Amino acid sequence: MIELQGLTKTYGDKTVVSDISLRVERGEFSVLIGPSGCGKSTTLRMINRLIPLTSGRILLGDEDVTRLPAEQLRRRIGYAIQSIGLFPHWTVADNIAVVPNLLKWPSARIASRVDELLDLFHLDAGEFRDKYPHQLSGGQAQRVGVARALAADPEVLLMDEPFGAVDPLTREVLQNEMRRVHEQTGTTVIFVTHDMDEALKLASRIALLDAGRLVQYDRPIELLTAPAEAFVSDFIGKADLGLKLLSRRWVHQYQQAATTSGDAPHHWETDAQGHPTCLHGGRPTADVPPRVAVTDDWTATPGMTMKEALSRMVWYRVGVLPVIDDAGRLIGEVTLEGVMGRQP
């Protein structure tokens, strides 16, 4: 758990961060978001005191760390930044081992921790341990950067727009990986971004800042459905609010039993293993044949966002998608009516 109490930063008579108080529970993924210059980065950097705070208190667990020497504090807090800042003269293993080394862990423990982290990020330890940063791709380097931040099991992991500088494809992959790593490690994360889609994808709580002030700190769904003030809905964007909402909804929440009986307006055919093979009916327009074969792409999985499921319906011009399990067996369906019928 980490708690910020009345965090304030002024430069001369200019207030950049004004009286921010928020509490991030253990294991929570908290995202600070807001327009440029809203003070989100400054807030983050005050937490590990790369920027000294003007006033306010920071509690880590039950401990007041506001007066703790900055170096000691930073060794308990992971820090990953957009430019990564890997040490170019050190191998990947040395880079990851920085904080454990500073904490004087025994070398055997450090070595096994390095391998464990490389493994966590699906980087082959044998291949990557002895590489140098210039031999890594952008995505790999960022993974190593996050691994370094996680190395000494920090009480909190601070991330300052870590995926801001990579291409959209890599960014998506890294976001998915971050979700997985967060689930696997249960680390408390505070993450700064200006990208609402990224926030919605990752956050369990979102803190929206504007001009140094905390506007709303809530679960993503509340931010979308119960904005505290007009600025919140303006910032989120009204144009695709519905789609943003669906990006926080999962297929398993909308899933219903699949119809296989011939009398229904649409129904599925399955093979002997239970894989869906064919859909009868279920298309919104008359110009498509009444019976179409199921392809790999127009299926949904329980963990998929409803935004993606809806996108597939639109693309394949079907009003219904089969939901399949890991083995590809039909376990249910989601329908266009289902998307519409549920309260946001």
Partner 1 sequence: MMAALLRRERRRDALLPLLSLLLVALVLFMGRLEPLFHAAFPQLETPVYARESFWRLTLDHLVLVLVSSLISVSVGVSAGLFVTRRTGREFEPLVSALAAIGQTFPPAAVLAIVVPLAGFGFVPTIVALTLYGLLPVVQNTITGLRTVPADTLEAARGTGMSARQILWRVELPLAMRVIIAGVRVSVIINIGTATIGSTVGAQSLGTPIIAGLVGDNIAYVIQGAVLVGLLAIVSDLSFERLERRYRIGGEATD
Give the span between the Cα atoms of 70 and 328, in whole angstroms: 52
C-beta separation of 117 from 151 below 8 A: yes
Question: CB–CB of 38/231 below 8 Å?
Answer: no
* Most distant CA pair in the chain, distance: 75
Residues 29-58 that bind partner 1 (CB under 8 A): 48, 50
- Residue 87 vs 315, nearer CB to partner 1: 87
Q: Does 96 bind partner 1 (CB under 8 A)?
A: no
Instruction: Confirm or reject binding of residue 102 to partner 1 (CB under 8 A).
Output: yes
The answer to the question of residue 71 lying near partner 1 (CB under 8 A) is yes
Contacting range for partner 1; rule: CB under 8 A; set: 7-15, 72-80, 246-254, 275-283: 72-80
The reply to whether 266 sits near partner 1 by the rule CB under 8 A is no
Q: Closest separation between CB of residue 249 and partner 1, Å?
A: 36
Whole-Å CA distances, 316 to 58, 209, 309, 311, 313? 51, 39, 11, 9, 5
Total of chain residues touching partner 1, rule CB under 8 A: 26
* Lateral strand order in the sheet of 29-33: 77-81, 156-160, 188-193, 29-33, 205-210, 213-218
Position 81 contacts partner 1 (CB under 8 A) = yes
Closest CA to 29 of 178, 194, 209: 178
**Identified binder of partner 1 from the candidate list 99, 118, 181, 206, rule CB under 8 A:** 99
For residues 134 and 238, which CB has a smaller minimum distance to partner 1 in the complex? Answer: 134
> What b/e string do you get for 17-53 counting C-beta neighbours within 10 Å, with b at 16 or more?
bbebebebeeebbbbbbbeeebbbbbbbbbbbbbbeb
Span interacting with partner 1, options 129-137, 182-190, 226-234, 252-260, rule CB under 8 A: 129-137
User: In this structure, what token pair is assigned to residue 214?
Assistant: 């905390």
Q: Taking the complex as a whole, how short is the minimal distance between the CB of residue 324 and partner 1, in angstroms?
A: 43
To partner 1, the closest distance from the beta carbon of 82 in angstroms equals: 8
- Please compute, for residue 170, the number of CA atoms within 13 A of its CA located in the half-sphere on the CB side: 13
Q: How far is the CB of 132 from partner 1 (least distance, A)?
A: 4
Q: Is 143 in the site for partner 1 (CB under 8 A)?
A: no
In whole angstroms, how far apart are CA 338 and each of 179, 255, 276?
27, 8, 20
User: From the list 16, 24, 65, 84, which residue makes contact with partner 1 (rule: CB under 8 A)?
Assistant: 84
Strands 205-210 and 55-60: unpaired
Give start and end residues of each alpha helix (H) in the chain.
40-47, 70-75, 92-96, 98-102, 107-120, 125-128, 138-150, 168-185, 196-202, 220-225, 230-236, 241-246, 251-254, 306-316, 336-341
Nearer CB in complex with partner 1: 89/122: 89
For residue 131, give every residue at least 6 positions away whose Cβ sits within 8 Å of its Cβ, in sequence order, or none. 91, 92
107 binds partner 1 (CB under 8 A): no
Q: Quick one: which of 9, 40, 74, 249 contacts partner 1 (CB under 8 A)?
A: 74
Q: Is 105 in the site for partner 1 (CB under 8 A)?
A: no
Q: Select 97 or 306, whichever has its Cβ closest to partner 1.
A: 97
Residues 147-166 that bind partner 1 (CB under 8 A): 148
Of the pair 85, 302, the CB lying nearest partner 1 is at: 85
- 114 scored as a contact of partner 1 (CB under 8 A): no
Interface residue with partner 1 among 14, 67, 122, 134 (CB under 8 A) is 134
- The reply on whether position 315 binds partner 1 by CB under 8 A is no
Under the rule (CB under 8 A), what is the footprint of partner 1? Answer: 48, 50, 70-75, 79, 81, 83-89, 98-99, 102, 132-135, 145, 148
